[in-house]
Structure 1
């Protein structure tokens, strides 16, 4: 696989031409190598090897912002022409300039030089998944492994030229026992950290344990949300409420609560761009990243801004620009969102535990109201699993829930761009189906 450093001469050529046709310009380049194997029961159903190259160009002239992308190095001139043309028909906005270069003082660790995306390594991981899933009643329904290595670069006409290398390894497994299913996954930056044994055993446990699930009566109960379940509410409701774009559009519950104590005093929510699989020293605008405290001591401290939104509303960028691939335009997001609250034994007292939520995407992102179906839920007490729950609904309001948290578990788990603990919430409304 080529590295982005192989294309620095091309990038300089693009910027040199862009200087004559726009006030400012930016080039974002991504190169990646990826291999994946898909499981269908115990057989490899599909193997895929992909190598991608993509360049995105952004131009700014008198506040008119244009953008275009190409997946061919030979088409860079067409890409630049398209970016300038799109800028001519865009509405102008307040613009204070692309960033200038800085010296980074922090290192990150998301690259494993020993991780090579090849079919033999992926096949060995598939074998270890299947072997670890043999000791139970459930059968493998699906799953897979993937290995990836990527390199990205951002450069602009103000002298910025940054590169970033990252690797990834992931494994997932779905087990089935009658109508009961179990699912688990792992995603890491370093191959030796990938735990296929844990993935298989957890998926197997879920499928076998919930095969005997029954109903539950409607009740008010404390609920423990695992990191997987919690991530669906945080990602669907809380993260949008912290976006500067949403705040200034009047669509955020937290818009008027900056500096106001409005959450549990122990709640801490922050973006740590140096620790996690999404760690990076620069954001998608080429702005140096930093820790960003959204909520501390129960008080809203900050909202997230990318460069474009910050200029539009007279704010300062928080280094929160992200891209969905090299061709994606910068947008507000997080790098490694972390949540913490008072530590406690969240499974000791009687409660309902939910490992997943179905329908979280239907939540009201402005008010925080939601009504979801519990997935792989169970009654717990004394730190042990009790009766598995076949089906139940959970309704509530996330912002209300965050005002009085019963406790957070010790362990943390990375789910996408979030690292979360188990969190216990008090007295939520469960709609059951008692047989």
Structure 2
């Protein structure tokens, strides 16, 4: 099919790119402690991108048999596109074609799902709390990218995910885990943590408003970075005046001990790859290194439009649509320490991080499952509270990072200890 599309497209376009993806998944959802819904799905998608005289057209279909109509639509959309200084699709390169995020043991097998569910429930019995909902899923995907320069790469990927939400009185607890490797998924720990936050979160006391040291879990710091820092690193946002970092290349934007790096080859990540969503060979991309802003993220289209160097940061977020600027495995690095050794407020989750202002970085969020912490342990629960501040200022307030990390989507994050955070309580 790919050869047929390229042959037909090359008669009408200067360049052609084809992205074909297929996936299969199986999952189960819990209602209380029983499986309420089981599902199995299979799908595929075809995306055709054509370039003619500097005009880019894209079309997609979930029925590859209709590729001729899809090609016609891509050619038609190119006619109405704006002209950009286009410097060409990538040519074949010598790259590592190892399967970077693939576990052959992961299959759409109901027995695997049942095993994950039972392990979740087993872990949840560590504390007195009731399951309200949960889920387990397995997915297998395969994609091929090819273009009119003879480039053709294919890769397979796997993913396993578990989550659990529990309640004890009016206190709730939530935890999840994701990996591409069955050896790296921990349903028992996920269940235990969800039960801990529900059970031990009961009877929390009000906190007095003031300035505190705060430890954000990997989940909490991920939510804040995704709300403002990640968008600010997009080359498109930089050149359209929608990035806080627009004029700050080469400047100090974080503590000198902090680095934020995209490493597509880190085996902890679920987005490991050897090429990006456009077939460009990937490499380690330091956005922030020792506090200094070094790089922005570019796909081909944005780099060509603004005369910048492509950074192989194109991602495909689904089975349809054009490539977009993103990251592969975004890793926060800082001074490693026991972030809970000294007294602090530990925050497991945040409510409302998406309401942060992506331009200014200002935020005000509600704390979920907060605890007083000291000597490496969580102690008294806090009934409620909010933290407010500026996300970009947080990069200067990070005093330590835990040695243990979590993989959350395309991010690999430690827990971080922040100094001088404004906490708003009711007391």
Q: Same fold (TM over 0.5)?
A: yes
Query: Which one of 141, 146, 164 corresponds to residue 173 of structure 1?
Result: 164
Spell out the pairing of 1:156-167 with structure 2 (5 A cutoff). 156-167=147-158
Residue equivalent to 2:233 = 242
1:191 aligns with 2:182: yes
Deviations along 1:361-397, one digit per CA (max 9) or x if unpaired, are: 1111111111111111111122222221111010011
Query: Which one of 383, 397, 402 corresponds to residue 395 of structure 2?
Result: 402
Residue equivalent to 1:411 = 404
Contact 2:99–2:155 (CA<8 Å) still a contact in 1? no
User: Which 4+ stretches in 1 moved above 6 angstroms?
Assistant: none
Residue equivalent to 1:270 = 261
Residue equivalent to 2:71 = 80
Spell out the pairing of 1:415-426 with structure 2 (5 A cutoff). 415-426=408-419
Deviations along 1:58-107, one digit per CA (max 9) or x if unpaired, are: 11111111111111121010110111111111122121111111011474
Query: Which one of 372, 376, 388 corresponds to residue 379 of structure 1?
Result: 372
1:51 aligns with 2:42: yes
**Distance in structure 2 (CA, Å) of the matches to 1:70 and 1:268:** 40
**Distance in structure 1 (CA, Å) of the matches to 2:280 and 2:243:** 25
SS in 2 for 1:211: coil
**Distance in structure 2 (CA, Å) of the matches to 1:16 and 1:57:** 13
1:39 aligns with 2:53: no
Please report the TM-score for the alignment, with normalisation by the length of structure 2: 0.97
Residue equivalent to 1:70 = 61
SS in 2 for 1:176: strand
Residue equivalent to 1:99 = 90
CA RMSD of aligned residues (A): 1.2
Contact 1:107–1:274 (CA<8 Å) still a contact in 2? no
Note the C-alpha offset of 1:261: 2.2
Runs (5+) with no aligned partner, structure 1: 1-9
Note the C-alpha offset of 1:108: 5.0
Please report the TM-score for the alignment, with normalisation by the length of structure 1: 0.96
Runs (5+) with no aligned partner, structure 2: none
Query: Which one of 108, 122, 125 corresponds to residue 117 of structure 1?
Result: 108
1:300 aligns with 2:293: yes
1:21 aligns with 2:26: no
**Distance in structure 1 (CA, Å) of the matches to 2:425 and 2:235:** 38
Residue equivalent to 1:3 = none
SS in 2 for 1:403: helix
**Distance in structure 2 (CA, Å) of the matches to 1:27 and 1:326:** 12
Contact 2:258–2:334 (CA<8 Å) still a contact in 1? yes
**Distance in structure 2 (CA, Å) of the matches to 1:407 and 1:59:** 48
Deviations along 1:304-355, one digit per CA (max 9) or x if unpaired, are: 0000000000001100001111212111000000011111221111111111
Deviations along 1:217-263, one digit per CA (max 9) or x if unpaired, are: 10111111110000001111111111111111112111111111232
Query: Which one of 368, 385, 393 corresponds to residue 392 of structure 1?
Result: 385
Spell out the pairing of 1:119-268 with structure 2 (5 A cutoff). 119-268=110-259
SS in 2 for 1:367: coil
**Distance in structure 1 (CA, Å) of the matches to 2:116 and 2:349:** 26
Aligned residues: 425
Contact 1:108–1:274 (CA<8 Å) still a contact in 2? no
1:290 aligns with 2:286: no
Residue equivalent to 2:333 = 340
SS in 1 for 2:202: helix
**Distance in structure 1 (CA, Å) of the matches to 2:208 and 2:424:** 7
1:316 aligns with 2:319: no
**Distance in structure 2 (CA, Å) of the matches to 1:353 and 1:408:** 13
Contact 1:138–1:208 (CA<8 Å) still a contact in 2? yes
Contact 2:124–2:193 (CA<8 Å) still a contact in 1? no
